[in-house]
Amino acid sequence: MEQKSKFEKNLYDLFTKTPEIPLHNEDSYVIFSDLHLGDGGGKDDFAKNAKLFKKILKSFYWKKEFNLVLNGDIEDLQKFTLHSIITRWKKVYSLFKKFQAANKLIKIIGNHDYNLVFINKRYPLKIHQAVKLNYQQYNLFLYHGHQAHHFLEKYNTLFGYIVRFIIKPLGINNYSTAYDSKKKFQVESNAYRFSSKFKLISIIGHTHRPLFESLSKVDTIKFEIEKLCRVYTTASIQGKAEIKNKIALLKEEMLYFNNKNPKLGLRSSLYNSNMLVPCLFNSGCGVGKRGITALEISQGKIFLVYWFNGNKNQKYNEYNVHQPERLGQTDFYRLIIKEETLDYIFARIELLS
């Protein structure tokens, strides 16, 4: 028998013990991860997006009858006590409870809120380790993602104490970024290999980097540039000018991103296969400076969306197919960054992996 590596065994065990929920075309799910709720103070990463988050839950996802999936690291128990979090974000919890009462909440644990497993008697929400959505003969496997890195899984509690009692008092603020790009890369590439091997879609969080069909933003831009270069040769004079413009914008976007994450940028072509299998998705995070990313599943399709405050003079990609849509009379906008049908994605997973 083939020897399973440690991460693969972790994920395989998790997969086999996770219950299945049937996914029909009329079902809608929204998946958020890594909100990092804190005590509302200066070190609370969620605070700046709190208003936006509450509004979109209430006025968009609840109204449209979405199921709400919270895919890990919702509370930051490595920095704050549960009591301080629940006290500060009462309104957020009453929204969560509203979804739960309607049987529309799936709360999955991550590494920052792992201790909920031990204190769940006082905790108002039901906790899952992972969830499987069963679509025809295929599965979408939803888990936070830290399980794809065995060190973090095993020493998580210890790591939590180190952060809370050693790093935090020292005033080292962004320990999350200390969770460096090499480990992010490892988590993504392990989750990718696992999903590809077992022909499923994995939906993770944890690395804070949105992925759609196994592609990061930089990967997507590269493919887009290549595609445009091909079209360029046969385009009209006007078409050529437009393509040139578009490529310049894309290059600027890529440079911006690479400067921000120099190591990640270089490592963006993660998956050492020639055939990229579109099996890995990541909802990104809720602590972005400029907004919140999420994955949506509805009517047999999956979407990567970006919610932001239009007042903050948002710069959104001008090469996007979609225009941002305003949420009622609010300052908040929803932009579809990517979309694809599950049928097409699973067909490619079946054929390419």
Q: Which amino acid is at 27?
A: D
Total residues at the site for Mn ion (CB under 5 A)?
4
Shortest Å distance, C-beta 189 to Mn ion:
16
Shortest Å distance, C-beta 35 to Mn ion:
11
Shortest Å distance, C-beta 113 to Mn ion:
9
**Which of the 8 DSSP states describes residue 162?**
I
Shortest Å distance, C-beta 72 to Mn ion:
6
342 contact partners, CB below 8 Å, separation of at least 6: 135, 138, 140, 201, 297, 300, 301, 302
Q: Which amino acid is at 263?
A: K
Contact by Cβ (8 Å): 34, 205:
yes
206 vs 338, beta carbon nearer Mn ion: 206
98 phi and psi, to 5 degrees? -65, -45
Task: Identify the CA nearest to 40 among candidates 75, 81, 84.
Answer: 84
* Nearest residue to the partner Mn ion, using Cβ: 206
Shortest Å distance, C-beta 33 to Mn ion:
8
Contact by Cβ (8 Å): 83, 322:
no
3-class DSSP state of 160 = helix
132 vs 149, beta carbon nearer Mn ion: 149
Q: Which residues sit opposite 201 in a β-bridge? A: 140
**Identified binder of Mn ion from the candidate list 8, 73, 75, 76, rule CB under 5 A:** 73
Restricted to residues 154-213, the positions that interact with Mn ion (CB under 5 A) are 206
In this structure, how many other beta carbons lie within 10 angstroms of the beta carbon of residue 125?
17
Restricted to residues 87-116, the positions that interact with Mn ion (CB under 5 A) are 110-111
Site string for Mn ion, 251-290 (x = CB under 5 A): ----------------------------------------
* Cα dihedral 262→266→271→274 (10° resolution): 160
Which one of the spans 50-58, 70-78, 98-106, 246-254 is the region binding Mn ion (CB under 5 A)?
70-78
Shortest Å distance, C-beta 248 to Mn ion:
36
Binding site for Mn ion (CB under 5 A): 73, 110-111, 206
